[in-house]
Structure 1
Amino acid sequence: MGTKVLISGASIAGPALAYWLGQYGFEPTVVELAPVLRGGGQAVDFRGDAHLTVLQRMGLLDELRRIDTGGSPMDFVDRHGRRRLHLPADFAGGEVEVPRGELARLLHRHSLPSTEYVFGDTVTALEETPDGVRVEFRHGSPREFGLVVGADGLHSTVRRLAFGPEQRFVRHLGYYAATWQLPNYLGLPPGSVGLNVPGRLAAVGADHRDRTRAGAFFLFASPELPYDRHDQEQQKALLADAFAGLGWEVPRLLESLREAPELYFDSISRADVPAWSAGRIALVGDAACGATIGGMGTGTAMVAAYVLAGELARARGDHRTAFARYEDAVRGYAEGCQRGGDRTGPFLAPGTAAGLRLRDGLLGRRWVLNRMLELGRKVSSTIALPDYQTEFATR
């Protein structure tokens, strides 16, 4: 088709969309603020027919199964290190669980033959023209594209430029989360263990590939905080304050934070955008319907990218028709998955001692876990996926 499409964001949704667009003859360019492809991050999982169907049609499912972590069991302990709750691997791991960085590398590799990648740059202005969108960049020269897609996450730059300020669309859900890498000084096996007190969780788990390394995951309840999203030293100070005075391994974990070269820190929030497109500009993944943690965001992003590219191919590049069909097909599904993120903070760190006891009592029963797993699979499968590849091949 030859339509040039700019995609902002090279995490998950962006490369997945670029892959499918390339399959249908579009010319995708992905721009990413980070200087290189980002690795690290928590493990991500896929569950249900829709997720696995998209992975199978991409030719990724077998590769991902070869690097499947097998799931991530988790123990919650009290201040003295005594276990208060155990969650088995299948509860958190879905049907396929892989390190987020490994998934990002696979998507980049699969999309690379038909995609231009531009790292270390970002979009600064968007202007629709009669035939496309004129895009200005922080470093590169202005360029014109037929379409622009924001796949740049909960704090999307494309959404801010084309749809309005972030505060119109993103709602804080009362918690903050952070992750960073450190040596596995505890000699931990696969999975993780975390101190749980009202409103706070401090966890650490072995790296799935390098058992000499570990990852910390901290979560705490808080009203919305004013902070600079690009100032990691400020974020480290916020974490130190939030977890001051706790025992167990928390002091050593906070000590490792001081030396951590890279920190992920963000609010647990959700994005609700009334319309996912405006003219020649559309949103996909967390930029359109995100939940920081627990909303099946990775699987939803892969499904949404598949449908968006397929509808553009089906409509022969007519963006008005394609964007409307894409949103009609995906919105209800994505919002159903997204609702899980509303419960993530209270689930991982209930705000009261009574809430902790109630959660532990319920989740200590296997039938409750099985019911929750069944509901998760159902929610993630409530979309019928057209076989766009077959349609496109028979034209």
Structure 2
Amino acid sequence: MTHATVLISGASVAGPALAYFLHRDGYDVTVVERAPDLRDSGYAVDFRGAAFDVLDDLGILAEVRRHETKMRGTSLVDEAGTETGMLPAEAFAGELEVPKRELTRILHRITTHDVEYVFNDSISALTQHDSGVAVEFERGAPRTFDLVIGADGVYSKVRQLAFGPHADAVRHLGLSGAGFSTANYLGLDRSGVLQHAPDTAIYAFSASDADRLTVSLSFATPTPALDRCGREEQERALRTAFAGRGWEAPRLLDAMSEADDFYFSSACQVHLDRWSQGRVALLGDAGYCAAPTSGMGTSQALIGARTLARHLAGANGDHTTAFAAYEAELRPYVAENQATGVEGAAMFGGGGR
């Protein structure tokens, strides 16, 4: 018996989770990832609500818990550094927080013997036929799959090829910023500190590595255009935005320029009328990103993966029915998370939309 073949683009969280469930249901799964290896980036991910049921279904809940950062909370301070309030750990860390690299590593380990992983490659073209999807790759030979799933992030290549330009789906929430790490000179111990003004915010915390301080500098921006600029221009925009700011701003700006893990991104959401086109469907941030400011990205990815797999398994090979049921079930949950993402962006200096 020939099993149905599925290509998943993206080897972060949503892709490998879906791969696990699809393989369990009898599919032959291939995961393609443009990075040369597992990504070691990303500071921490958190889990809330039904995501715990998915971790349990994956058989990894106990292992994930062993990597808990055990954050204690976040102090709110003014520009003089005086504490003005306190946010509970759940505000940023959810019900459980772990370093993202650990979750990615675990998901890869539980799938690597049953799923084909192709690193250092990316989809370059998709052509749908009645019986499958012809896929061209940047490096590998062309192949045909029964289904293709885009789990490749906000700027999804699968979405771009099958649904249209990024501009048609990506909505900027009026907020951009940089992340990096430096020495923990603030002496934070599994805790964070947040200082925000109307158009800027500084968030610093120390979690799993007591010697390192993870820093986020965010500021209001009219468009996500800076995402496509080089680091020099991004740093210049940050220095302009934080010019004259007190507290630790000058020192953190200097640390930013010395950081070897500098990362810049904008808070965006993905909104589409449909999450599938023929034999191609979208999962996680690629189809319905709620923005990092929602605190729900990882939970949404895991819940989406299991929901999609469950409907595919229950549709007896009818992908059209499965995709429609997956979307109908998940959309209300996504809408709530996206509303939270807009509110969170405003808290960190964004205008929201």
Q: Which TM-score bucket, shorter chain as reference?
A: over 0.9
* 2:259 corresponding residue in structure 1: 260
Residue in 1 that maps onto 2:86: 86
**1:219, 1:345 within 8 Å by CA — same for their partners in 2?**
no
1:390 corresponding residue in structure 2: none
CA distance in structure 1 between the partners assigned to 2:182 and 2:220 by the alignment? 24
2:205 touches 2:215 (CA, 8 Å); kept in 1? Answer: yes
CA distance in 2 between counterparts of 1:230 and 1:18 reads 34
C-alpha separation in 2, matches of 1:4 and 1:178: 39
Q: Is contact 1:277-1:323 (8 Å) kept?
A: yes
Q: Output aligned runs, 1:34-183, within 5 Å.
A: 34-48=35-49, 50-183=50-183
- 1:20 — aligned with what? 21
Instruction: Give the % identical residues.
Output: 46
1:381 alignment partner in structure 2: none
Quote the Cα distance in structure 2 between the aligned partners of 1:127 and 1:202: 45
Distance 1:285 1:201 in 2: 27
Cα separation, 1, equivalents of 2:14 and 2:32: 13
User: Is 1:8 matched with 2:3?
Assistant: no
Q: 1:41 to 1:137 in 2, by over 3 A?
A: same
Aligned residue type for 1:16: A
Q: Supply the distance in 2 between the matched residues of 1:228 and 1:289 (Cα, whole angstroms).
A: 19
Instruction: Tell me, yes or no, if structure 1 residue 272 matches structure 2 residue 283.
Output: no
Cα distance in 2 for residues equivalent to 1:121 and 1:350 = 35
Structure holding more helix per residue: 1
| Alpha-carbon offset, residue 182 of structure 1 | 1.9
The answer on whether the counterparts of 1:71 and 1:94 sit within 8 Å (CA) in structure 2 is: no
- Counterpart residue number, 1:366: none
Which SS does the other structure have where 2:111 is aligned?
helix
Partners of 2:3 and 2:178 in 1: CA distance: 41
Q: Work out the CA distance in 2 between the residues paired with 1:95 and 1:79.
A: 30
Measured in 2, the distance between the counterparts of 1:350 and 1:285 equals: 23
SS at match of 2:51: helix
Contact in 1 for aligned 2:18/2:309 (Cα 8 Å): yes
Report the alpha carbon displacement of residue 280 of structure 1 after superposing the two structures with TM. Answer: 0.6
- Alignment pair present for 1:321 and 2:321: yes
Assess, with a 3 A threshold, how the Cα gap between structure 1 residues 122 and 350 changes in structure 2: closer, same or farther.
closer
> Residue 103 of structure 2 aligns to which amino acid in structure 1?
L
Q: Write the letter of the residue equivalent to 2:71.
A: G
Q: CA separation in 2, counterparts of 1:3 and 1:185?
A: 54
Q: 1:46 to 1:228 in 2, by over 3 A?
A: closer
**Structure 2 residue matching 1:308: 3-state secondary structure:** helix
- Provide the rounded CA distance (Å) in 1 between the counterparts of 2:224 and 2:350: 19
Superposed CA RMSD in Å reads 1.9
CA 1:228/1:51 → structure 2, altered by over 3 Å: closer, same or farther?
A: closer
CA change 1:109–1:169 in 2 (3 A) is same
Whether contact under 8 Å (1:271, 1:291) holds in the other structure is: yes
Shift of 1:272: 0.8
Contact kept in structure 1, 2:227 and 2:264, CA below 8 Å: no
Measure, in 2, the Cα distance between the counterparts of 1:141 and 1:236: 40
Query: Displacement of 1:72 after TM fit?
Result: 5.0
Residue pair 1:154, 1:292 contacting (<8 A) in 2 also: no
Structure 1: segments with no counterpart, 5+ residues: 352-395
User: Does the residue aligned with 1:227 lie in a helix, a strand or coil?
Assistant: helix
Q: CA deviation at 1:78?
A: 1.5
Whether the 8 Å contact between 1:72 and 1:89 is mirrored in structure 2 is yes
Deviation at 1:289, TM superposition (A): 1.0
Structure 1: how far apart are the matches of 2:155 and 2:20?
Answer: 23
Q: Superposed, which structure 2 residues align to 1:174-323 within 5 Å?
A: 174-206=174-206, 208-229=207-228, 231-295=230-294, 296-323=296-323
Look up the match of 2:33. 32
SS at match of 1:86: strand
Whether the 8 Å CA contact 1:220–1:242 is kept in 2: the answer is: yes
Q: Distance in 1 between matches of 2:140 and 2:235?
A: 32
TM-score (norm 1): 0.83
1:357 — aligned with what? none
CA distance in 2, matches of 1:102, 1:236: 29
- The two structures have a TM-score, normalised by structure 2, of 0.93
Greater mean deviation of Cα atoms: 230-239 or 263-272? 230-239
Contact 2:76 2:194 (8 Å CA) reproduced: yes
Structure-1 separation of matches of 2:116 and 2:86 = 45
Q: Matches of 2:102 and 2:232 in 1, distance apart?
A: 27
How many pairs align? 349
C-alpha contact 2:177 2:238 (8 A) present in aligned 1: no
Decide whether the 8 Å contact of 2:308 with 2:323 is kept in 1: yes
* Offset of residue 91 of structure 1: 3.2
Moved more, 165-174 or 276-285: 165-174
Q: Which residue identity lines up with residue 246 of structure 1 in the other structure?
A: R
Structure 2 residue aligned with 1:378? none
The 1-side partners of 2:39 and 2:271 are apart by 26
Kindly state the Cα deviation for residue 305 of structure 1 after the two structures are TM-superposed: 0.3
Aligned-partner Cα distance in 1 for 2:93–2:204:
16
